Amino acid sequence: MARVLVTGSTQGLGLAAARLLLDDGHEVVLHARDESRRAAVGELARRGARVVIGDLAGAAATESVAAQVNAFGRMDAVIHNAGIYLDPRRVATPEGHARTLAVNVLAPYLLTARIERPERLVYLTSDLHQGGAPSLEDVDWTARPWDAAQAYADSKLFVMALAFALARMWPDVSSNAVGPGWVPTRMGGPNAPDDLEQGHLTQVWLAVGAEPEATSTGGYWYHRRRLAPTPAALDEDFQRALVDELARLTGVRLPR
């Protein structure tokens, strides 16, 4: 039995992944943005899942989530599922960061730095990462005119590069990125063409699967198939520069 944290697990892919893990006998830690969302996971909580609360748009709340998780003991795996799609304008977090960057990139980075190191890390990305700009100039959109689609694509490139950087930096940890496809969740919309069930199976497999592929590291996965990511995500110089930039933006460095 594994102990697994799933962020953003009150709906959609995160909830489906958490339910499957619980069905398979694993210990699950759910994450809700605020107390009002706790009711959405009441069924799983009654079955023994634990719940941590915190809005990942803010650094203090993200630090609190990490502390709540650590209080339960070491996780075997963390699925970084929480994310937002298209903010129509640049919404600022309490620290002044663009919310898209904060939730999709800064929060996974900060949780990774603060949560006791698990054996496996899974980061949710998107095939839209291919449109991400491999540049760290003005990543927070303070100088450029806001472009919601570009900000999202950039964030998914960044979180994929982070997953690959960790695979290189922490060889004792399995760190992978998953593109779930365009699935009919609240984020994806009702007309999304991909299979909702297939959308959450790969991250669960990478979190607890016993097959050699499931325990591998540094991969980009879609429906349990390893795909080639955009070359920028594999660029070690870009990975190092990204990790340095995330450390600067958060004030927190990854443990070595």
Q: Give the global pTM.
A: 0.94
Predicted pLDDT of residue 196:
62
- Residues 137-161 as b or e (16 or more Cβ within 10 Å = b): eebbbeeeeeeeebbbbbbbbbbbb
Q: Which one of the listed residues 85, 109, 123, 156 is annotated catalytic?
A: 156
Are 202 and 222 contacting, i.e. CB atoms less than 8 angstroms apart? yes
Whether 85 is a known active-site residue: answer: no
3-state helix, strand and coil shares in percent for the chain, rounded to the nearest 5: 45, 15, 40
User: Structural domains in the chain?
Assistant: 3-250 (3.40.50.720)
What is the tens place of the pLDDT at every residue in 150-159?
999 999 999 9
Q: In the prediction, which pLDDT does 192 show?
A: 46
In one-letter notation, the amino acid at residue 226 is R
Tell me, yes or no, if 152 is annotated catalytic.
yes
**Residue of 109, 152, 220, 222 with catalytic role:** 152
Q: Which residue has the tokens 């944290």?
A: 5
List, for residues 87-129, the tens digit of each pLDDT value.
999 999 999 999 999 999 999 999 999 999 999 999 999 999 9
Q: What is the pLDDT of residue 256?
A: 84
Question: Is 98 in a helix, a strand, or coil?
Answer: strand
pLDDT at 194: 56
pLDDT for residue 57 is more than 50: yes
